[in-house]
Amino acid sequence: MKALTACTKAELAACKQEYEAEYQDFKAQNLKLDMSRGKPAPEQLDLSMPMMDVLTSKDLLQTENGFDCRNYGLIDGIPEAKRMFADILGVSDKEIIICGNSSLNVMFDTVAAAYTHGILGNTPWCQQKDVKFLCPVPGYDRHFSICEWFGIEMINVPLKEDGPDMDLVEKLVSADSSIKGIWCVPQYANPTGCCYSDQVVRRFANLKPKAPDFRIFWDNAYCIHHLVENPPQVLNLMDACKEAGNPNLPYIFASTSKVSFPGSGISMIAGSEENMSDLKKTMSIRTIGYDKINQLRHVRFFHDAAGLRAHMEKHRLIIRPKFEAVINKLNADIRPLGIADWTEPKGGYFISFNSMPGCAKRIVQLCKEAGVTLTGAGATYPYGKDPEDRNIRIAPTYPSVAELTKAMELFCICVKLASVEKLLAE
């Protein structure tokens, strides 16, 4: 194969004819596959089915210190759940609150509390003239949606292989008091899969924000979601912040949504005791407490951090071949043509694909018309606006390997077709 970029117009026209025929063949197959979200596959969910048996009518539904989980109380979580996830996140029991079924909900509530009531006595964001967030891009659409909902202006920051462009982050944060936060997925970023380097984490911990109510929204969604046997370690932000004398900088989020059951897992927020006690004020108005029986169910099933990690190894064995199928197909069909690049993540839920500029929307549209729904092009950028129209988030986990192989065949044809259309139009 020859790089498309090196082809003459006549060669391109011939390619286009060939790709169109292949595309029409696919269309005739009436595929129907939704790859728009990062959903675990049924086989992954099956891994947690024994969790349905750990609490029965014969069990005492009590915490280790004898508290009845069936009744009101313990707004910050049962002690054994706090310990297990404090261990995972590298914080102390006093620096974590175990919440309900959705860490997105916790992030929303945290932004909402800052918006309506302010952080640690600072002026509520809704009463400040401008409120801005830095958004490493490409990133997670639901983070951006929260900002958009609250009218928070988003500023793109390039996400590099070792984390956000810290020169830019430091410059912006130290100069502008209207910058109140930054969304980070430090381990296996959504969608690139990159891990923040130690240096990047240290530079985060040593930020000197102009805004006293600036926070790092550290969404550690994939901290134990490895795809490789010797996974990269991301430095403990909480420790680094304490060392730097900035203990209040981070809000750390995580959940078991892709460990046990999405929607029926448990979530958590971690941070300094001062931050936690600040957040508990709004929490105690909002609810009498989260679902402690479900917290207990999780602890009885996973036991401890080691149990959680062992469970994640089973997930790894299921989803690793799916990531490989995607990467292998891209390597075989697209690599030689010189029209795109993509990430090869060591964990997380996504592969980030960059087409030639101006092709992403067209590729997603072509796939959709042939029955495969991808995450919308642009979704990985604030306001849905990918300035170069290049980035596509591939979510390989939900389909079977067979379905995925089929979908990737189609995807590659669509990439080729869109690219050749683009090159012919130039």
Binding residues (CB under 8 A) for its own copies: these are 37, 39-40, 42, 45, 48-53, 55-57, 59, 61, 68-73, 100-102, 104-105, 108-109, 112, 115-117, 126, 142, 145-146, 149-150, 257, 261-264, 282, 285-294
Q: Tell me the C-alpha to C-alpha distance, in Å, between residue 212 and each of 85, 118, 378, 409.
A: 28, 11, 32, 51
Three-state secondary-structure class, residue 158: strand
Q: Which is nearer to its own copies, 29 or 71 (CB)?
A: 71
Nearest alpha carbon to residue 293 among 21, 6, 85, 54: 54
Name which of 394 and 412 has its Cβ closer to its own copies: 394
Contact (Cβ atoms closer than 8 angstroms) between residue 185 and residue 221: yes
C-beta atoms surrounding 407 within 10 Å:
26
CB of residue 271 to its own copies, shortest distance in Å: 20
Residues 249/241, Cβ–Cβ less than 8 Å = yes
Q: Residue 11 is which amino acid?
A: E
Q: Give min distance, CB of 299 to its own copies, in A.
A: 14
> CB of residue 166 vs its own copies: minimum separation in angstroms?
29
Least Å from the CB of residue 316 to its own copies: 19
Q: What strands lie across the sheet with 341-342, from one edge to the other?
A: 341-342, 351-354, 391-394
Nearest to 158 by CA among 148, 166, 149, 170: 166
Q: Which is nearer to its own copies, 300 or 320 (CB)?
A: 300
Task: For its own copies, give the closer residue by CB, 295 or 355.
Answer: 295
C-alpha 385/C-alpha 197 separation (Å) is 27
* Distinct helix (H) and strand (E) counts, the chain: 13, 13
Collapsed DSSP state (helix, strand, coil) of residue 43: helix
Closest distance of CB 65 from its own copies, Å: 17
- Helix or strand holding residue 374 (H, E): strand 372-374
CB of 16 to its own copies, least distance (A): 38
Residue 360's nearest CA partner among 275, 271, 422, 311 is 422
Q: Which is nearer to its own copies, 7 or 126 (CB)?
A: 126
Q: List the structure tokens of 285.
A: 């108005």
193, 343 Cβ separation under 8 angstroms:
yes
Residues 167, 247: Cα–Cα separation, whole Å = 22
- Closest approach, Cβ 49 to its own copies, in A, equals 4
Minimum CB distance to its own copies smaller for 133 or for 196: 133
> Which residue, 100 or 163, has its beta carbon nearer to its own copies?
100
Least distance between its own copies and beta carbon 423 (Å): 38
Contact 89, 269 (CB under 8 A): no
Query: Which of residues 72 and 230 has its CB atom nearest to its own copies in the complex?
Result: 72
